């Protein structure tokens, strides 16, 4: 959870890497939920990730827009049900 605090103070390049890394991780989770993760665990991860990436805004509009689309409209499947990534 330290990333929420430290990300806003990183260099522009480090923030850009953070945005790209979170996007990759979130898409990976969206495609294949880790074993033993519940619906709420997935959604908590997305909520936390948004807090982290909000600390890197203003660096790369393209990545920020992709993340925002995922936060607003992304879904994942778990046990045959579809859920919003970010409630």
pLDDT at 1 over 90: no
Q: How confident is the model at residue 19 (pLDDT cuts 50, 70, 90)?
A: very high
The answer to whether 50 touches 39, Cβ cutoff 8 Å, is no
Which residues are CB-contacts of 26 (< 8 A; sequence separation ≥ 6)? 45, 46, 49, 67, 70, 74, 85
pLDDT in tens, 36-81: 999 999 999 999 999 999 999 999 999 999 999 999 999 999 999 9
Question: 2-7+22-84 in CATH: which number?
Answer: 1.10.3210.10
The pLDDT of residue 86: 97
Angle 39-54/12-31 helices, nearest 10 degrees?
Answer: 160
Q: Judging by beta carbons within 10 Å of its beta carbon (0-12, 13-18, 19+), is residue 39 exposed, middle or buried?
A: middle
Question: What pLDDT, on a 0 to 100 scale, did the predictor assign at position 64?
Answer: 98
Whether 35 shows a pLDDT value over 90: the answer reads: yes
């Amino acid at each position: 959870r330290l990333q929420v605090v430290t990300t806003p103070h990183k260099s522009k390049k480090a923030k850009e890497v953070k945005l790209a890394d979170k996007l990759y991780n979130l898409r990976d989770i969206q495609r294949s939920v880790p074993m033993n993760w519940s619906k709420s665990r997935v959604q908590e991860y997305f909520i936390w990730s948004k807090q982290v990436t909000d600390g890197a805004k203003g660096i790369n509009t393209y990545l920020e827009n992709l993340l925002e689309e995922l936060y607003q409209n992304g879904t994942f499947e778990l046990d045959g049900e579809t859920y919003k990534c970010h409630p």
